[in-house]
Structure 1
Amino acid sequence: MPLIIRAANATDEAALGRMGAALARKHHEFDAQRFMLPDDVESGYRAWLGREARRKDAVVIVAELDGQVVGYAYGRVEPVDWNALLDRAGAFHDLWVEEKARRGGVGALLAEEMMRRLTSLGVPRVVLHTAARNEPAQRMFARLGWRPTMVEMTREAPAHTEPISER
């Protein structure tokens, strides 16, 4: 059977929860202080992506191979953000492909379909973030035309801080 990229539906929610949890675990492995890993992350992702799939300004798509969901992507339209100096844009939040389906172009197909669907919602650009240590994803996105624009930096708060008094 050929690979099919399609909108996620309610029957995909268990797979979305499993794959979303795998994505969360991978990020947590990259930097456990930066990326949260809530208890029962599968249920959380299943519920979150199920709700998002029903929003008119969100896109949740899956890659299906031989009748089995092997990847997903999630993004949505975001309004003007003065803090980020970002005009209305598509925000490409998640991309996951199961190990058995990697290196065959599934991720690129999901990314291109996400771009197509978000721009069809009227956004002038799509912005995404990748974990600093996720170099394979960065290379793929660069091949597809994304360019680096920001670098996120994180610093943990000291164990105990005194408030800075104003003078």
Structure 2
Amino acid sequence: MTHTAVRQANVTDLEMLTPLFDGYRQFYGRATDLDAARQFLLDRFNHGESVIFMALREGVPLGFTQLYPSFSSVSMARTFILNDLFVTEEGRRNGVASALMSAAVEFAKTVGAIRLSLSTAVTNSPAQSLYSAMGWAKDEQFFVYHLSTGA
């Protein structure tokens, strides 16, 4: 089996990341829009608003995960929201998602974050199985609420 490399992405990876990000959005029922996906990612890079890791095998992008910085006021410490995780069909069931998540965890530890948080669709049982297998615990203390601002 060929080795999968995971590394932190930068703006020069934009053309490889854009179709992955667009595929992620399509997975969640959104229409394809490569131009908007590219601009969204470019804005994150240009404003330092996220940290992205990508997985490659022989130079072919197989997946990515995107972390958004946050903070815990109660703990007075840095946290990250693991907001996006996507692996192409070719990369699934080959350890790519685990490698991406492990890179995210190591990064968070390196920069002193006390916690990573994520959410997933209640119907996404493969992802839920992965998270449990990697030691992530389902929150039993808090409910999550959303309010649309209409923007």
- Within the candidate set 39, 47, 50, 1:47 is matched to 39
Number of positions where the alignment pairs a residue of Structure 1 with one of Structure 2: 145
Give the gaps of 5 or more residues in structure 1: 29-36, 157-167
Contact 1:90 1:119 in 2 (8 A): no
SS of corresponding position for 1:131: coil
Distance 1:6 1:55, change over 3 A: farther
Contact 2:5 2:56 in 1 (8 A): yes
Distance 1:48 1:8, change over 3 A: same
Question: Who is 2:106 aligned against?
Answer: 116
Give the gaps of 5 or more residues in structure 2: none
Measure, in 1, the Cα distance between the counterparts of 2:22 and 2:90: 17
* % identity of equivalent residues: 23
Contact 1:77 1:123 in 2 (8 A): no
1:150-165 to structure 2, matched below 5 A, reads 150=142, 152=144
> RMSD in angstroms over aligned alpha carbons?
2.8
- Within the candidate set 132, 140, 144, 2:130 is matched to 140
TM-score by length of 2: 0.80
Measure, in 2, the Cα distance between the counterparts of 1:113 and 1:136: 20
Distance 1:81 1:21, change over 3 A: farther
Measure, in 2, the Cα distance between the counterparts of 1:26 and 1:88: 30
2:66 is aligned with 1:74: yes
SS of corresponding position for 1:130: coil
Distance 1:154 1:90, change over 3 A: closer
Measure, in 2, the Cα distance between the counterparts of 1:145 and 1:74: 19
Q: Structure 1 residue 19: deviation in Å?
A: 1.4
Distance 1:92 1:155, change over 3 A: closer
2:7 is aligned with 1:6: yes
Whose strand fraction is larger, Structure 1's or Structure 2's?
2
Structure label with greater radius of gyration: 1
Distance 1:154 1:54, change over 3 A: closer
